[in-house]
Amino acid sequence: MPDLKVKSSLEFLRCGDAHIPEVIRLLHKLYKELDEGDDERVSFLLTEDAVKRMISRGVTTIIAACDEGRLVGIITLTESQAFYAGGPYGCIDELYVLPEYRSRRLGSSLLDEAKWLARTSRWQRIVVNTPKDRIRWGATLRFYERNGFGVTGNKLKFQL
């Protein structure tokens, strides 16, 4: 895959082994914000070896937004495939932006990078699971809808 493009003062890059500690730092913040289990359980799951294995398998891509060399947002995508989808498609597993970088369209820019990856990978669509509590996560749903995703069952889909 070619290098990802640069937008404004932020750099978007595909994460590799050198970025793993910062990726883990951001994922910890995401899971804490989502109240996804205790810190001990998350730390057990989010080891450098575990992240390295996921990246090295070649089906999970982590795209990061960097500001002056510091990761300030990430999106993780995993390639899947299904007959109903018409072939390969991408799943957004995580999307996180540091609070001080929110409301600057950084989340939308990360989604744009994901869409670019999807097109160059010839995926048919990108999906993201929708939360069960749509009232609590209404702003999240509206964010994805503003970025071209539509609700389909328990997922939001961006058709390419």
Query: Domain for residue 68, yes or no?
Result: yes
Please state the φ and ψ torsions of residue 77, each to the nearest 5 degrees. Answer: -130, 140
Query: Domain for residue 40, yes or no?
Result: yes
Tracing tokens 């540091």 back to the chain, one arrives at 98
Q: Which tens digits make up the pLDDT trace of 31-86?
A: 888 876 667 777 777 899 999 999 999 999 999 999 998 999 999 999 999 998 89
Query: Domain for residue 105, yes or no?
Result: yes
Rounded to whole angstroms, the Cα distance separating 106 from 84 reads 31
Rounded to whole angstroms, the Cα distance separating 6 from 66 reads 10
pLDDT band at 135 (very low <50, low <70, confident <90, very high): confident
Query: Domain for residue 1, yes or no?
Result: no
More confident residue, 103 or 118: 118
Query: What range defines the domain where residue 129 resides?
Result: 6-159
Q: Closest Cα partner for 61 from 13, 119, 101?
A: 13
Query: Domain for residue 122, yes or no?
Result: yes
Query: Domain for residue 16, yes or no?
Result: yes
Query: Domain for residue 77, yes or no?
Result: yes
Q: Closest Cα partner for 92 from 140, 42, 132, 39?
A: 140
Rounded to whole angstroms, the Cα distance separating 71 from 97 reads 9
Instruction: Kindly report the CATH number assigned to the domain that includes residue 45.
Output: 3.40.630.30
Query: Domain for residue 118, yes or no?
Result: yes
Average pLDDT, whole number, for the chain? 88
User: DSSP for 10-59?
Assistant: EEEEE--GGGHHHHHHHHHHHHHHHT-S-HHHHHHH--HHHHHHHHHTTS
The pLDDT of residue 99 is above 70: yes
Model pTM score: 0.86
pLDDT band at 29 (very low <50, low <70, confident <90, very high): very high
Cβ atoms 121, 81 nearer than 8 A: no
The pLDDT of residue 2 is above 60: no
Cβ atoms 94, 30 nearer than 8 A: yes
pLDDT band at 155 (very low <50, low <70, confident <90, very high): confident
Count of domains for the chain: 1
